[in-house]
Amino acid sequence: MNLKSVKLAALLVAGGLVALAGSMFREHRLFQEPTVAGPGVTEVKKLSDFSPVVAGTVNDCNVYILDSGVPGGTAFLIGGTHPEEPASNLSSQLFVENAVVKQGRLIVVNRANTSASQITRNGEAYPRFYSVQTPWGEKVWRMGDRCTNALDSWPDPEVYVHYPSGQNLAYMDIRNFNRTWPGRQDGLITERTNFAMMEMIRNEKVDIVLDYHEAELEYPVENTIVTHEKGQAVAAMTSMMLTSAVFPIPIGMEFSPTALHGLSHREIGDHSDAMSLLAEVAEPMLDRIRGITDEQLLMSGKDRFVMKAGEHKLLYAPIDENGWPIDIRVGRHVTTFMTALDVFNQIDPSKAVVISGVPSYQEMVDNGIGAYFKDPKSAPSDRVFMD
């Protein structure tokens, strides 16, 4: 074989690999996630119905409205802020498919930053999909990234100057949906998405917002509720009610720093009448010291390297050979919101948001969260929505 044919063979192999990778990226980017509108869903809107600044973009997400018809308050649940944190959108979707609202109104988004759910983190070898076993088969979601896909938001600035505070943030945070609140109507797509959600929060007179996240165990803001000053009583009481009585591992409470801008718990509270809270739960796959980054680690939360770091007291959350399974992570998130609402409802009963139909923490841990997702194939087609 002469040199020319070696080069030609190498070119063909490289071209073949590029084509294969390209088709896999495309399959992931275009994958549709069905959500079955549960018995409580009275209307499904698009985010652009509240503000035109996201019309025609990938981030014009579904907005699920569960209206009891009984006067009360309005709660807004944000899933999918960071799509590499699956407990976030799984928890919000569990409400859409199961919750029945008895008083007031619940608004839910599952894919707050859809663009970020259509790409995984470059160079990190993330799985493209993850799944949960259900009684009717395997339910699959897109694994995503922390930030908006650069294909939808390019180029990044040298320094990201947050609007309206003027604070300087890291350049890629202009694509981080939890650094771009309260948004900007003529900004890049992530800022526009936040702006549209702020418009919805203000115009729909939302009273309480909870933003779902997961965090690495090496990070100090972990297994906690971060709250705006307005949510102090709700967050403190929720933390007390859940710690030890319901959750074997405590859930803390801390204040949103007043000088740190762009975060939901700070900006939503500052720029609307709503009280804003954010919930964190442990996700070992986000730790830098993790082992093989596959779906198994993502969903089981079991990792011997992270455990080793725990033995050396390098972590802010406990971990043992049982890991942090997704049933526990979603169970904590769902129950945190339900408990926060219980406390919120006592403050002003005329603004209450009363929800039923949602499983308890122990039911989710015992039965697995797969028991609470509906089969889109056996649901009427006009009740199935693609996120």
Residue ranges in contact with Zn ion by CB under 5 A: 82, 85, 213
Nearest distance in Å: CB 219, Zn ion: 10
Cβ atoms < 10 Å from Cβ of 65: 19
The token duo for 387 is 């996120």
The token duo for 46 is 């698009």
Cα gap 225→238, rounded to integer Å: 9
Nearer to Zn ion, 201 or 278 (CB): 278
Nearest distance in Å: CB 15, Zn ion: 38
Nearer to Zn ion, 85 or 152 (CB): 85
Residue 264: φ, ψ to 5° = -60, -45
CA angle at residue 265 from 54 to 82, to 5 degrees?
55
Nearer to Zn ion, 213 or 332 (CB): 213
Nearer to Zn ion, 82 or 139 (CB): 82
Nearest distance in Å: CB 102, Zn ion: 31
Residue 46: φ, ψ to 5° = -105, 155
Helix axes 86-98, 326-347, angle to 10 degrees: 60
Alpha helices in the chain (DSSP H): 3-30, 86-98, 189-203, 232-242, 264-271, 295-300, 304-311, 326-347, 361-367
DSSP one-letter code for 157:
P
Nearest distance in Å: CB 85, Zn ion: 5
Nearer to Zn ion, 160 or 177 (CB): 177
Nearest distance in Å: CB 48, Zn ion: 25
Nearer to Zn ion, 100 or 172 (CB): 172
Amino acid letter, residue 281:
V
Nearest distance in Å: CB 84, Zn ion: 8
